[in-house]
Structure 1
Amino acid sequence: MMFLLPSLLCALAGYVSAFLVETSTLTDLYPPLWKDCPSQFSDYKTEDGVYTIDPWLYPERMGMYKILITLTANYFERFGPNNEKNILWGLPLQHGWQFNTGRLTDPTNVTECGKENGDHMCISVNSWWACMNYYLCALPFLSAVEAGALGISSDQVTLLLPPKDQMYFCYDVTTCRSSFPDAMTKWNTFFQKAKDLSKTLDELLKDLWIAHEATIEVARNIFHNRLQYYSKPESDFEKSWATAVNYIAAVRFETSLIKTHEFQKALPPRLLNSGDQPPLIKDFTDSQNRVLFLLNLLYETDDNSDHKFLLLVETVMESKILRKIANSVMEQFIQNMI
């Protein structure tokens, strides 16, 4: 299985250099509607000093990320200018990709939530992607509040619950802390360490991915039933994507603005249909077909090995030297692929 490692990690991590970006400014890389989303707490509804956010509307959920990115900029400025090296960029960019590719819409088609001819800004609670992303938005955001990173106290913000399955969603610091103490603690640890200007980017990436993995693990167990709403190819992709996070974490993929943006070019540009068979999907690029195929292969390898392959990769990637070698191979792979 070890011979698969270079190709799999290259395709998954998408390690790229800044010179690969062909856009004129960093703002061209921002998620959809970024400039129109709330950028400060006062942009949300306020009553008795409490800010109320509706995370089931795309602009309001993306606004949470925007505030998070903006108010943590000083933690990452030593790594690069213009907040480009803020490793929290991976979260809003992933959410923007989900929005652009129709993955936040209602897969049951019972409602028009998220549909272009319906309520386009609506985020459906029936969407597997939307529910998984909720945890990767609410938990880091509220942990940042708890850690004192966003300039408000823990009792000053609350999130509106979805129209159904409300028992699965925490909505403020207190409920998230009581419901998901392990994940909240790991996010809090990340933000506390981010404040320490002596920490290296590699050290911060380690803690970021620890928190990310803990959040994904909780959410995937809760929302497994959402997979039934999708075609088999899309459901397979969802399962393989959740598994791939563990491998991406092992190499400590740098979730900065440029590198995440470049990586996402190789992700599926739309929901997968029942007839889609990677790597032979006609309206996908070669790199999109190749990455999708490798993601599915990785899932099968991980599952058939009873996760022993992941343990092997994690053990190998504990070495800083081997991570650097892996990243160099990834960079070459991306240059050849593009």
Structure 2
Amino acid sequence: MPISPRFTPNVIRAIDVLTYPAVQLLDVTGPVQVFASANDLVAGASGVEPPYALRVVAPGGRGVTASAGLELAAGPLTPIGEPLDTLLVAGGEGAEAASADPALVDWVRGRATQARRVASVCTGAFLLAAAGLLDGRRAATHWMYCAKLAQRFPAVRVEPDPIYVCDGRIWTSAGVTSGIDLALALVEEDLGRSVALAVARYLVVFLKRPGGQAQFSAALSLQVAEDKFGALHDWINAHLAGDLSLSILADRAGMSERSFSRRYAEATGVTPARAIERLRLEAARRALSESRQPVKRIAQRCGFGSEETMRRSFQRLMATTPQDYRARFGS
């Protein structure tokens, strides 16, 4: 496809990718490959200098061994005052030890002041939080570590659902492969959609994942109770616009309301009402991204009753509105 990069020729953006012992391999190589592919495609198509200067760095300036056992070559930490476009902090098993290293945290804080933007992949968010960069901001991390991040850093507004979150100049992403999604979003911001799409096609990945960028679907998260409530979930998904009151669900499950509420929460970790809201929200996200139906019609078909009720659910669970969601992820 034709590539028309949206950037000033010969402007090279320096990117520091921070690694450390026991880093997650794909947290590093995924984003690096996205930026490297953007370099190849832009320089090859336009005959200009590659737009990114990539530097993988680590404390001590020597190679680090990733948690998968593979050694990564890395250069020394760059000087605090050196110009920098993007600081990207990888995650992994070693993130906790790294975030407890005062010298490394100070370096992250110092480099962040020089950078146009700062990003993290997976548990790299713990390093940003330790440096105070996430205070008062929305942030994402791997779903397994959301509660821990929120507990350790109560000033951070942790969001468990999104693949990535952008709050001002700070970008954070969820687990492992979401670093690729994040890097594609950064390329799109820098160079335009055509370049980002070309990179995604070359890497055989989605530019924007189907399902609205959620870390995992509501249906998938409820599969922990598949043996007990799998048939009920199938029925709920087929009747989202109908009456899904507690009495109806309990009768469908053959239990009293009290027993059903208790056993359902024990099996899924959420109340029946919260589970239904998530399933309806997921159906609405799918309809918004894949169809041109009016928002009011989608709200009715997904069981919200009114457009305002659906809007409140989107605001509470997705920190956006249905209209903005469609604008971002619509086909």
Query: Normalising to structure 1: TM-score of the pair?
Result: 0.29
Of Structure 1 and Structure 2, the greater helix share is in 1
Structure of larger gyration radius: 2
User: Taking CA–CA contacts closer than 8 Å with sequence separation of 6 or more, which of the two structures ends up with the larger relative contact order?
Assistant: 1
Of Structure 1 and Structure 2, the greater strand share is in 2
Query: Normalising to structure 2: TM-score of the pair?
Result: 0.30
